[in-house]
A and B are shown apart, each in its own frame.
Chain A
Amino acid sequence: MTATAGTTTAGSATAGTGAPKTVGTIPRGLLVLIGVSALVAVVATFSSDLGLASYHLVLISTVLFWATQATSWNLLSGFAGYFSFGQGAFLGVGVFTMAVMAGRNDVNYLLAIPVGGLLAGVLAFVIGAVAFRLRSLRGEIFALLTLAVPFILGSIALNTRSIDGGLGTTIPTPDRPDWVPSFQHLMVLLNLGAATIAVAVALAVYHSRLGRGLAAVHDAEDAAEVVGVPTFRYKMTAIVLGGVLGGMSGAIFAMMLGYVEVPVVFVLYIPLFIILICVAGGRRHWAGPLIGAALLVVLTEWFKVAKLDQYRDIVLGLLLVGIVVIAPDGMFGRLRRHPWIALVTFLVVAGGLLASGYYAELDALLYGMAASVVVTTLAGLPRVERLWRRQATSDSPAAPAAAPGPGTGAGSATRSSTGFAAPPPPPPGGRVLVSVEGVTKDFGGVRALDNVSFDVTEGEIVGLVGPNGSGKTTMVNLLCGAMQPTAGAITIDGRAIKGLAPHRVAHAGVARTYQIPKPFTSMTVRDNVAMAVMFGRTGASYAEARQRAEQCLATVHMQHLADALPESLNLHQRQLLEMARAIAAEPAVLILDEAFAGLNPAEIDDAVAVIRRIHASGVSIIIVEHRLRVLQQLATRIVVLNRGTLIADGAPSTVLNDAVVVQAYLGRQRA
């Protein structure tokens, strides 16, 4: 009872402050967490005085245990989206560390717990180091590989006499300090400690650079790399943290079990239940696993008490199917919108049923939760919501999306001021920013680029043009480090980028946009841009980054959409967002890959004005574009590729009248 009420409070407390996330939430969240933990600890310690049966303590321990495991799993699999079936392996390492140390060698359990965490962390490191190095690794393959790990560990344990050898191990009843009244109290306190640490870690990660980086990996991993997120390191950190926490909690689990054997620990039920908790609760927020754990543990306990064990897995399985199909975001998203309704419904129903005296505690809890879920879901229906909340626009994050078609309006204002037909600024004879020397790129037997060389000098706007299939996109991918040249060298601002990871190339001063915009879908427009500031060369804090993001959005005239989610933007706005994100990294060179594709003439004019402004702020630009008309207005120099070779490089007027270029574009001249 207390545990579940506690977790709901923790969830709702942050939910209330969740919408405008400020730095202040970390300490505040931690305070709430510590408060709740202390409350649970006090209630548990004085449980007999409060009239709680030992059975309640077991229930609290169980909820806390699964909440810890789910929270650990969520660090990688929820935040970054790399689903793992391997959490059972970390848990298992913890269990058998306890079994071997405390069960077989009489080592104090307080030592075995951290050792279990450490060993599981090592295992996580090995798994991550192998899996995340595989270039072709897709999410499904990662999931299936991690599926194998618990089985392998199980068979090792089963066949190693010093670990298990098929004999099983009894864990002796642990000694406890005098102030802890019973073994069950000790379990509650240990699990509470582990859960508090796990949630604190998740909370800290969620609000830190790491958490934002992981969310970016989840939304669009290659875009994350380009804005400078060190994806490999972040994924490793997440999996190792999850391993350590899972191992510690696993060691405690061994004490709860009392008798440890392989078939109980290395079973699929464990990772499955963890996944189910997180899918049901919500994976993108740290509080999701807590809600999921409370819901599902109570549900399974209810099945146990009701002697309906044989239907438990059927219900759990169908629940998983139903949630994935109907509500893939989990319960948290729904509860967070109406935290108080959720809490009040739960308290009223559960409390009422309890007070009536006809219902057992577990029934009351379950019905209370079910009622809470149903009511919040109903309250979330648009029609119902309108009834009781009139100023719906004030705190709903998606609301500003309704702002009317902005680009054209803003554009028309600037169009006159920029002077539409104005000739581009003359290139100053400054320092060379980008140098491409003899670059060749082969794909299998096909040569996409053949010995291409050109430079970009500070202050230029270089148009990179050529017919379809001429190698432009390959060139862009080489420039931003997404591909390595077969031969030749590329230097950015004097620094050779050969072998550098994309995020390092980004730090060397290259930013790019994608032809098909790849926004971080879970973040607002402002946060999308702030990501690039945070992970850029300077590495600003989140608060600073958000401020600078405002300036970048102002440059592209998107301030009024700062709080919108990317999915509510139109194509033009998304491309402007790409540009804002790119300049936020304060690049020396900005590469625009087909930034006008799919735009109507008015939007193109608007985009041209934006590019001029970006250029005026001191950024050199490479534009990849088919439309020569646009480039004629914009570029200071044009480089033409055809079939992978450079066929022209010079001032726009010269290049566009070049016979070879005309032929490449218009086709063979009539004889």
Chain B
Amino acid sequence: MLEVRGVQARYGDAQALWGVDLDVAAGEMVCIVGPNGAGKTTLVKTIAGLHAAAAGSVRMDGVELTAVPGHKVCDYGVATVPEGRRVFGHMTVRDNLLLGAYRRAARRVYRETEEEVYRLFPRLRERQGQLAGSLSGGEQQMLAIGRALMARPRLLLLDEPSLGLAPVIVDEVFDALAAVTRTGMGVLVVEQDVQRALEACGRGYLLIEGRIVTAGTTEALRSTDEVRQRVLGM
């Protein structure tokens, strides 16, 4: 479904990605792990059209996305859960969710999607009228995921969903992602919490200093010394 080929990205003179290839199929959860500063966030932003690729191609079901402006990428079925959640703190929980359904195709069915999101995260239903800024970190993460789901994407991009969350909450988040994957959605997770990511995902990529170093099933990855070595430096 998602095909990334030879993507390069830079910030001014600093090159962050040096030719990245990766694939995500419908109904699978794939993770990208790697140490901080490896370019994981840049990769997510580049796929989501929020950062221009310097070279290479990003295709979604065969449609080239690198030329599509950032605000149109969601029309091709890609929704993002950004790093640090970035919920709209001055808006209510429900408003945040409805904003997710901003694009026309999603607007038509927003009531049904909203129900699905509440079923996935019952806590959000309880907090509907509350300002998103007043939620706890875990609830905000659920809201950010729910907001992305409201756009009815075929591919969900998540950047560091476990960041700053208590382990119990992280479990909940990954359970929800697994449930989403079972509906046939593709999920691409960027994670610093290597263990957790490898546990939850079917396949994974190890990204180091802007390059994919190893790829494969998470079983295989887990046994690679390289992961332990390169991420921890031991």
Contact = CB atoms under 8 A, between A and B. Distances in A.
B208 to A, nearest CB: 10
A220 B148 CA distance: 37
Nearest to A598: B14
Given A598-B37, A599-B14, A601-B209, A668 B233 contact: no
Contacts of A662: 232
Interface residues of A, number: 28
A632 B232 CA distance: 10
Contacts of A667: 162, 193-197
Contacts of B23: none
Given A600-B209, A626-B37, A643-B164, A666 B232 contact: yes
B102 interface: no
B15 A600 contact: yes
Contacts of B115: none
Interface string A641-671: 0010000000000001100001001111110
Interface string B81-97: 00010000000000000
Nearest to B41: A468
Nearest to A664: B193
B11 A598 contact: yes
A488 interface: no
Contact of A571 (B13, B167, B193, B197): B13
Which of B12, B16, B230, B232 has the most A CB atoms < 10 Å from its CB? B232
A572 B13 CA distance: 9
B231 interface: yes
A469 B164 contact: yes
A393 to B, nearest CB: 22
A666 B35 contact: no
Interface in A546-597: 570-572, 596-597
Contacts of B11: 571, 598
B36 interface: yes
B195 A628 contact: no
Contacts of B194: 666-667
Determine the interface band of chain B, counting residues with CB < 8 A from chain A. 20 to 34
Given A570-B12, A629-B233, A632-B233, A668 B163 contact: no
A468 B167 CA distance: 15
Contacts of B196: 667-668
Contacts of A328: none
Which of A601, A629, A657 has the most B CB atoms < 10 Å from its CB? A629
Given A599-B14, A632-B233, A670 B192 contact: no
B195 A571 contact: no
B160 interface: yes
A662 B227 CA distance: 13
Nearest to A629: B233
Contact of B35 (A598, A600, A627): A627
Contacts of A29: none
Contacts of B233: 627-629, 631-632, 656
A570 B195 CA distance: 36
Nearest to A405: B13
Interface string B154-191: 00000010111001000000000000000000000000
Interface in A282-311: none
Interface in B205-234: 209, 228, 230-234
B199 interface: yes
A468 B37 contact: no
The 8 closest A-B pairs by CB, nearest first: A626-B36, A667-B193, A629-B233, A667-B195, A570-B13, A628-B233, A469-B164, A598-B14
Given A570-B14, A666-B195, 6 more contacts: A468-B36, A598-B14, A598-B37, A626-B37, A656-B232, A670-B195
19 contacts: A467-B36, A468-B36, A468-B163, A469-B164, A570-B13, A571-B13, A571-B14, A572-B13, A597-B37, A600-B15, A626-B35, A628-B232, A628-B234, A629-B230, A629-B233, A632-B233, A662-B232, A667-B197, A670-B195
Interface of A: 467-469, 570-572, 596-601, 626-629, 631-632, 643, 656-657, 662, 665-670
